[in-house]
Copies of this chain bind each other. A is one copy, B any other.
Amino acid sequence: MKVRGNNNHKSMGGQVPEPTLRRLPGYLSYFKSLKINGIEHVSSSQIASTFNMDATLVTKDLSHTGIKGRTKIGYNVDKLIETIIVFLDFNTHENAFLFGVGNLGKALINYDGLKHYGLKIVAGFDVDPRVINTSVKDVKVYGVDDFRDLSRKIPARIGIITTPDGKAQETADYMVAWGIKAIWNFTPQSIKVPDNIVVENTSIYSDLAVILNKLNK
């Protein structure tokens, strides 16, 4: 019986490398600040120096988006912003449901930034009667039982999990059962879902581990 080498966890869908995908939003934020400061062009070496990385890598990353720079001039900032936004689908308003309207859940709902990056949280769900039927900003909070009905009325492909750690799996199962296609899991708990469901785990502990490691040599 084979035990190893049998798992294909590489998505292999698009051809753009994930590291590139992860760097692009950082560039975008930088380009936006350049625009605010009235700067019209930027070169790969300037970008590289800002992010403390190699200029060739910047060039390669940007080439994936299809943008063209001009020799001796660099890239046009407006064009960069527009191109990256479209490339990353940050222009499409993707609806999302959020489960667990606690500390982090509220922060995310209150967070204005997300809507500029393609995501709109359309409803919150919780089990705590003190939270149910309240509103955070203009987002209403429902009991989890209302999810079934609501997921029919409001189409949303993304589900955000900010419940307590132990509730991550059951929440994921519930989301999948009612049609969610991608799960954004802020819990440190690993979740199991069918292969066709997209899962992204955002774990601040990984970042913390890196910080502590570097700090302690």
Contacts and interface: CB of A to CB of B under 8 A. Distances in A.
Interface of A: 3-5, 7, 9, 11, 13-14, 16, 18, 21-26, 28-30, 33, 45, 48-56, 88-90, 92, 94, 103-104, 106-107, 110-111, 113-114, 117-119, 157-158, 165-166, 181-182, 184, 188-190, 192, 198, 200-217
Contacts of A16: 213
Given A7-B48, A90-B212, A181-B215, 5 more contacts: A29-B165, A50-B192, A51-B190, A89-B213, A117-B205
The 4 closest A-B pairs by CB, nearest first: A25-B205, A22-B206, A103-B107, A29-B188
B198 A214 contact: yes
A30 to B, nearest CB: 6
Contact of A214 (B5, B11, B117, B209): B11
A173 B210 CA distance: 21
B190 A26 contact: yes
Nearest to A8: B52
A121 to B, nearest CB: 12
A26 B203 contact: yes
B209 A21 contact: yes
A56 B5 CA distance: 8
B184 A211 contact: yes
A216 B157 CA distance: 11
12 contacts: A4-B56, A9-B52, A14-B213, A33-B189, A94-B215, A103-B106, A118-B212, A158-B211, A182-B214, A184-B207, A184-B211, A202-B204
A187 to B, nearest CB: 8
A204 to B, nearest CB: 6
A53 B9 contact: yes
